[in-house]
Every structure is written in structure tokens, then in C-alpha cells.
Structure 1
């Protein structure tokens, strides 16, 4: 009798376990999907097409919504990454195994609590200089973040020359007379798919946060400035964004050639003339040749997808009026040293270059970035000009719109990173956000398996999830994170989160003055051409400090 009862209980437990791990299904407007049941009650659905593949004769066309499918679609495996160059050997950011790639790559992935209902939606846009990366990278696994009560979505979008080539012939065949912003249009199409379908996964289409790091954060800014994206999201997270000067479609602006002219120049460099021949090229070969020819993928100001320079859109208050969480890392450039010019011979040579290039602002530059430690000065100059200025600009401009805005500063170090000279390096916060401390890329400095690191990860995930949920970042047992506001408040993430005020006083004003003068001049770009390689700065100009 007892044995029979034990067997019955065991069978019952096995059945319950099997049912709990049974492949989940959702019936979305796009079609029925079969996913995978993960631990902690999270369901994953991978490789979901959100747009038809623009390949071959359709290459360089705006995305078209994927047709609904019949039957049950297997969504247990990731779709291929978009075509991209091979990563640099030994790069911190290179994946362990080469990502399978295809021109047919416009898919997204969803992680959702099994019992999700009207849950906030967190849409992750991967970084990679608009050249590489994928929403399927292990470090972006959304399961642990979904366990915070979010529906997490990661997306692929066209990269490099396939995502951002502008060309006169492409503009001619466009109904809007524009070309080049295909990767950005992919992101907008993904957000439209989310609006139509995310309710089937338990997500709220009325509470969508777009988030990204590096080129993903650049994309967040583009989306905030793009009229076609308005209303498709309700909050924004920009991690290590860079509001650099943006090319225009047909005119040279701020010293940057027109995007169409850059497309013609690329065609000349790779000796493939005409749109038909470019479309007939093998996608991987074309991508590799474009990268070798120094093609720089960026969105362009075309008057349609992007009506204005992002910096101007934010100045006019014409960006999306949504709460924002933005910040940057202390060691941004420590893992991006290719952005630095060769070091001068000594401190005296450094000071001479700064004085020759910054005129009446030279002494302010030397006070903030003194040449006693040349490496530190050059790292900080480029970091602040690209990432620090941008983060503070974003929270200032959203605050001016009457929106809640939160600034952070990632200053966390751990032994293997600090020993390698990579304290708080670019993207170093991502494993903490996603709770993927054990699944970083092979060359990533190994994160200690300690309670302190796990606690910091839990705090960061808690703050970000709370922001996605309510627009206010809060984490259990952690300090209150005040909005930027009049006090210019921020949250520093060192060993533990710690709030502060007035991060790097005077930094923003100095960089803003430099950028303002370059903008007023009209022929000077602003990006990593700073410090000892800055173009001579115009003296005080109308409207600039």
C-alpha cells in the first residue's frame, strides 16, 4: 500500500514537472509559436521574424512586415545574425564561436514570465558600431532580467553597408526620395511588431522601454529623433551613447561628406559600379570590402526618417517626450584605444598642441586634462567628449521637457579588469544588467564569483527593471536614485551604488562650448577628433559661451 502510494506520488510529481517544462505556446497575431520553458518560470521564444528579408534584388529597401504564418512555428532557436565582418582576433567583444549570419536576419527574441500580464516591455538594441553584434549574444540573455517581471525583447537589424548605404540610385527608386537608413527602419519595424504582438506574451504595448548600449544607445537617440518611431515606446535607456555629428543625405554638413557621396565613393573604391552590380554581390564579400574601405555606417539626416541632426532635435525639444535613464563608464576608452591618436613626446608637447588647437579655451582644457599623466589625460578627453557629454546632455534635455531623467556613472572595478588596465571599461556594465556574469565573451576579464558581484548585479537589474515598470529606478535595499533635476543628481556604481550630485563639475559646459563653436562654424565635425588632434577651435561665436 505504502509503495503504491509512493509510486503514485512520484508519477504525479514527474507529470507536474513535465507539465511545468512543457514547451509553451503563444497565439500571436503573427501566428502560433512554440518556445522553451526555462528555469524560474521564464518562457523563451527565439528567432521570430518581424520583417521579410530584403535580399538580392530587394537589398536596400525599407523592411516590410513579415507575413503571418500558418501552423505552429518552432521558436526554440535563435535566428542568424545579420551579415557582419569577422571580429578582430582577441577583441574583448568577440564571441566565443562565430555567429551564424545571413542576409535573412530580421528576427527578434522574447523572454517572458509564464504568468506575465500587462508586464512592462524592455526592448534591447545591441551595440557593435552599427557594424557587428546580434540580439542572440549570450551576454544579452534576457531570462534573468525577465525574472524581474519584465517581458524582454532583443532584436537584430541590418548592419554596416547593408544597413546604412546611401546612394543616388537608391534614393531615385525610393517613394520618399531617400536612402541609407535601413537599419534604423528595421528597428522601427521591430517596434511596430511589438505593438501588434507583445500582448500575446503578456507584455503591455503601452509600456515599452527601448534600451541599448554604445551603437544601441546611438540607435535609441535616433529613435527618439525619428517621427516614425513616435508612440512606439514610452521610456528610453541610453548606456554609453554618443551624440556625434551626423551626415546629411545630399549635402556636406559639419565637414562630413553627403551620405550619397560616400556611397558613390565606396562603389568606386571597391570597383563595383551601379546599383544592379552592388545588389548582385555576395553579401559577405560586399560587407568585408566595405569595412576594409573604411565605410562608416551611420544614419543620415534625410528630412524623412531623421528630419534633423540629433543634437538639433534635442535642442529644439522635438525628440520623444519620454523619461530617460542615461550614463557612461569611467573607463570607456580603455578598451577602445583605437579612438586615441598617437601620444605626444611629453607633457610639454601635449600642452603646446592643446594651446594651438583650443585658443581661449586651452587653459580650461589643460586644467581639466593636465599633461602630467598623458595616458590619463587622453583617455579622459575622448571619454568626456563622446560619452560623458552625451549622457549629461540627454538628461538635461529631457529634464527641460519636463520628463524624469536619471544619470548614472559606472565606476566599478574588479581584479582581472583592473590588472589589465580596463577599470570600468566600455560595456563592462552589461553582464551586471543581464545577470550574465558567468557567460561573458572569452577575452572578457573574468568577473569574480562572489556575493558582492552578484549583489551589484541584482541592484542594477532592479533599478533598470523598476525604471521600465514605472519610470523611476528603485532597487530593494539600495539607495534612492534621485532624478537629475536642479541638483544635477546621479548614481555612481562602484563597489556599491551611491548617489551623488554634480558629476565632474564643468565637464559638460566645456565640451558643450567646443561643440557649439564647431556647430556655429559649420565646417567642423564633433566626434573623437578632440585633444591633440582637434581642429583649431574658432574663437567665441554668436550663441556660444
Structure 2
């Protein structure tokens, strides 16, 4: 009796998934294109007019002797390579419940990308968006349902979602690794993977109707930090036409990037914990040994470092000197980035928290985060110091040190609960990472939520803003609400993205200036 109870829903799910896949096949036919390494066969959807090429290798598998090395060029293949299925995603722990992958497995052999293109036969010159996933540099993949590029491609944009190496496989530095390089640095291999994907797009996107001179990069959370870093890296900054950041920037004065020495010290601890005597030996170790050392030996996670190659100096200094990619920037955050944790619920408890965490600034901070609303103020302060301040600073630095427009937003649309859950189980505002489905308008692909009319309206608005920005460097166009660019007013405008989007003066501006000065003084 119990077996039948559990088996029926499972069979229904299998039937549903099989039906969806069958519909995709029934409404498509095979298409081919030629890239530098050979011929690819993908799918053309007669429902949407979008071609899809999945699991394309953009670099050599980073395994064996290529583990912990910069990505190397992908090899050529004979005949026609099938590009109907996603490639393996990077090795990672199961961390985030809202990540829904479509790749078959995890593997160190993970450097694949996916392309969605609306190009008609012999069409060329389409703008391109390369999107980097989030996940704290510890999780994620380009095949995630939220990053599906089909709807944005219908707006006339070629969409690319690459994988990049994560955690210890993508970010371990070590003195032995530094000794191998001509720049005497190591780490940041996942960021170099991203740069390699940008270079692959530059060389190959014309085969999909894209313009290699119109590459905009985008990302959320760690992907957003990645965008800010690609803007300053000499490996990438000259190949970009635009940048989009969603919740995160690598110029947070509260958490500056680690020096190479800190990354190397972490690598030494990791090697000691692994039981191997050298990097040469560890390169030959099974994936499982490295994975279990990372997750079972209490070694923490490797930092992004100023390695002297991909990142040559503090990114804030690069921005301050105007050496970053001189391109239009669209950047913002959600209204409640960090709604989880234990927050004080009385003014006295809130003031006590401030005195403990910010002893020299406790009283001043109550001017910007009032004690008469203790829980809300504590959540806003936690959100700001964790994510918002770095994103705000990125926008401000680029506004001050480039001649390109900056468009800033705050995402306020509260995502509905997962089907079967109540609203009470959801955060009090728009939480971190809840804006992804709206920007990409992947609501129908991310079908675990009870989407309403307001969600669809917000998604249609946002995907058009994004498409306009990728095409022209300006999100405005058509009948969309006017989005002003960032200026030096006392309360410069911010675009509030919601079911009904609108621009308004950003009254919280002074608190970010206070936080920036507070952390800058502490670092001196």
C-alpha cells in the first residue's frame, strides 16, 4: 500500500518530464554550424525560432596535469559533434535548494558552454550576453534552469552560459603552484575559465549570428563579483561592450580581496590535510580525495586573491584610476539581500548588537539604521555590509571614473513561495538571488514556484530592459518606464523593479557613504 502511494507521484513526474522533453523534440529539428574546432549540431525550435547548442567545449578538460592550471585551448574534433545535451557541471557539494540542474553529472571535466541564438540563416551582427552563474564560487552551473537563455534570445540577443571551476578546483593557490608560473602567482582558475569563455565567444560567436564586438557580460552574486573582476582584469577588459551586475561587486571595503600570501597559506593547509606530500602528487589524486578533504577536514574555502596575473591590484584601485573596461554598466541589488539569521527584536537588543559589532560607530549607525525598528534595521545593515555596499561602491566608482553611463536598480518583487509552501516560509522582502528568473524571464522553465500575473509582468519588463541594454548600452526603449542613469545628485535616482517599475530618488544614499568611510578609515 505504501509503495503504491509513493510510486504514483514518481511515475507522474517521470511521465511529465518525458512529455516536456518529447515536446521539445517534436517542435524542433537539427541545425549545424561551424566553429574553430569543428562542426556542431544543435536544435532549432519551431515554437520560438531559437537555436540551442548545448555542451560546447571552450577549453581543454582541466584534469590530470591540467588540474590547477590556467585553461588551455579546446581540441579539434572529427566529424559532427552533437550539441543537444548539457555538459557536466563543476564538482561541487549540494548546497542550495533552489538550484535545479539539467546536466547529467558533476565532473572536473566541466569547461562547457551553451548558446541560444535567434539568428536566421545568414544573419549576423546580433548582440551577445555572456552570463556567469552565482553560488559563492562553490556551487552553480550554466545549465541551471534559472539561466535558460531562450526567452532573452527571443528579444534578439545571443545568450551564452559558460561553466567555470569552483571551490578548491577553481581557486586554490599554493607556493608550488606559484613557482610554476612566470608571474609567480596562482589561484583564480575559475575566473580564468570565465575569461577563456569570453575569448572563445570573441572567436566563435559569429558562427551563431553574434557580433564579436558586442559582448556584454552579466552575472548574479558570485557571478556579479566575477563581472566586476572581468572589468578590471587585463585578460578580459578590452573585449567587453557592456556589463551587468546583480547583487555583488569585488570592491566591498568591508571585505577587500585577499593577498596572494593568504591564498597560498590556505593551499598549504589543504595540502597538509590531504595526506599528500606535494602538488605533483595531489594532481594525480582521485577527485573524491580532493572533494572529501575539502568537505570533511574543516579547511574552509579558498579565497579569490590578487594573483598578479588575472587580478594585478586591488580592484578598487583599478576603478579609481579609470583602468577598468570603459563600458556602460547596469547594476543593482535586491531589497532584502540577507533576511536569514538571528536578528534583535527590541531596541535595547539592537543597540547591544551595534555596540558589540561596531563599538566606535554604534551611535552614529542608529542615524541610518534606526533603533525604533530594530529587526528591520538589523536586516538592512546585514544586507548592506554583506552585498549591497560592494555593489553600490562598484556603481559609484564606475560613475566617477569613466565616461560611460551607469544604470542602478533595486529589485523589490517578492518571489512567490515554492508550490506547496506558505508565504510565511518566505523572506520579508525580495531576498538574495530571487531576481534571476525575472531578468532572464525563465519563469516557465523555473516551474517550481506559483507564479502570478504580477511576476510575469515584472519578468517581461526586466527581460526587455536587459535586452535593450545588451543591444545599445541603455535599458530604455519602447513603452518601458524611463530609467535614468546615475548622477551626482544628493539623492540620485534608483530604478525600483517590480510588477509596476518606477524610478525614484534614493534616500538611503547617505548611509552607504558613511559605511564606505567607516571601513576605509578602519583599513588605514
- Both proteins in one fold, TM over 0.5: yes
Q: Name the CA distance, whole Å, in 2 between partners of 1:514 and 1:201.
A: 48
> Alpha carbons of 1:362 and 1:20: their partners in 2 closer, same or farther (altered >3 Å)?
closer
Q: How does 1:218-233 map to 2 (within 5 A)?
A: 218-233=225-240
Instruction: Establish whether residue 428 from structure 1 lines up as the match of residue 434 from structure 2.
Output: yes
CA contact (8 A) 1:84 1:288 kept: no
Which residue of 1 is the match for residue 75 of structure 2? Answer: 67
Cα displacement string for residues 353-412 of structure 1 (whole angstroms, at most 9, x for unaligned residues): 423553553222122223444432322112112322222222222222111100000011
Q: Return the alpha-carbon distance in structure 1 between the equivalents of residues 38 and 442 of structure 2.
A: 31
2:214 counterpart residue number: 207
Q: Which has the higher contact order (CA 8 A, sep 6+)?
A: 1
In the alignment, does 2:410 pair up with 1:409? yes
TM-score normalised over the length of structure 1? 0.84
Q: Residues of 2 paired with 1:196 and 1:155: CA distance? A: 15
Q: How does 1:384-533 map to 2 (within 5 A)?
A: 384-400=384-400, 401-413=402-414, 416=417, 418-422=423-427, 423-440=429-446, 442=448, 446-450=449-453, 452-487=454-489, 488-520=492-524
Structure 1 partner of 2:259: 248
Distance 1:284 1:325, change over 3 A: farther
Sort the Cα spacing of 1:94 and 1:472 in 2 relative to 1 into closer, same or farther, 3 A: closer
- Larger deviation: 393-402 or 208-217? 393-402
Displacement of 1:30 in angstroms is: 2.5
What is the alpha-carbon distance in structure 2 between the residues aligned to residue 98 and residue 367 of structure 1?
Answer: 49
The SS at the match of 2:476 is coil
Q: 1:269 pairs with 270, 273, 276, which one?
A: 273
Question: What corresponds to 1:296 in structure 2?
Answer: 301
How far apart are the structure 1 equivalents of 2:270 and 2:27? 54
Partner secondary structure for residue 426 of structure 2: coil
Query: SS state of the match for residue 377, structure 2?
Result: helix
Root-mean-square deviation over aligned CA pairs: 2.2
> Which deviates more from structure 2 when the two are superposed, residues 63-72 or residues 286-295?
286-295
What is the DSSP-based 3-state SS (H/G/I as helix, E as strand, rest coil) of the residue aligned with 1:101? coil
Separation in 2, partners of 1:348, 1:76: 59
**1:20: how far off?**
8.7
Do the aligned residues in 1 keep the contact of 2:343 with 2:379 (CA within 8 Å)?
no
Unaligned runs of 5+ in 2: 1-24
Stretch of structure 1 that moved more, 120-129 or 499-508: 499-508
Q: Where do 5+ consecutive residues of structure 1 fail to align?
A: 1-17, 251-257, 521-545
**Distance (Å, rounded) in 1 between the aligned partners of 2:417 and 2:93:** 29
Deviation at 1:223, TM superposition (A): 0.7
Q: CA contact under 8 A between 2:413 and 2:455: conserved in structure 1?
A: no
CA separation in 2, counterparts of 1:515 and 1:136? Answer: 38
User: How far, CA to CA, are the matches of 2:119 and 2:386 in structure 1?
Assistant: 41
Matched, 1:323 2:328: yes
Cα distance in 2 between the residues matched to 1:407 and 1:263: 38
Conserved? CA contact 2:331–2:409, under 8 Å: yes
Change beyond 3 A, Cα 1:322–1:376: same
Separation in 2 of the partners of 1:216 and 1:421?
24
Aligned to 1:492, what secondary structure does the other structure show? strand
Distance 2:187 2:415 in 1: 41
Distance in 2 between residues matched to 1:190 and 1:415, nearest whole Å: 34
Work out whether residues 459 and 475 of structure 1, in 8 Å CA contact, stay in contact via their aligned partners in 2: no
- Cα 1:186/1:199, change in 2 over 3 Å: same
Whether contact under 8 Å (2:274, 2:289) holds in the other structure is no
- Between stretches 323-332 and 476-485, larger displacement belongs to 476-485
1:6 alignment counterpart: none
8 A contact 2:345–2:375 mirrored in 1: no
Aligned partner of 1:541 in structure 2 is none
Q: Is the 8 A contact 1:81 1:100 kept in 2?
A: yes
- 1:105 counterpart SS class: coil
Paired residue secondary structure (1:473):
coil
The 3 A distance-change label for structure 1 pair 52 and 441 is farther
Q: Is the contact between residue 116 and residue 150 of structure 2 (CA under 8 Å) also seen in structure 1?
A: yes
Greater CA deviation, 298-307 or 216-225?
298-307
Q: Structure 1 pair 284/449, CA: closer, same or farther in 2 (3 Å)?
A: farther
Aligned length: 484
**Would the alpha carbon gap of residues 505 and 176 (structure 1) be closer, same or farther in structure 2, given more than 3 Å must change?**
closer
1:170 aligns with 2:177: yes
1:416 Cα offset (Å): 3.1
Secondary structure of 1:77 counterpart: coil
Q: Is the 8 A contact 2:127 2:470 kept in 1?
A: yes
Q: Taking structure 1 as reference, are residues 374 and 242 closer, same or farther at Cα in structure 2, changes over 3 Å only? A: farther
- Tell me how far 1:433 sits from its aligned partner: 1.6
Deviation (angstroms), 1:128: 0.6
SS in 1 for 2:464: helix
- Give a deviation string over 1:460-482, Cα, whole Å, max 9, x none: 00001100100000253221111
Equivalent residue number for residue 115 of structure 2: 110
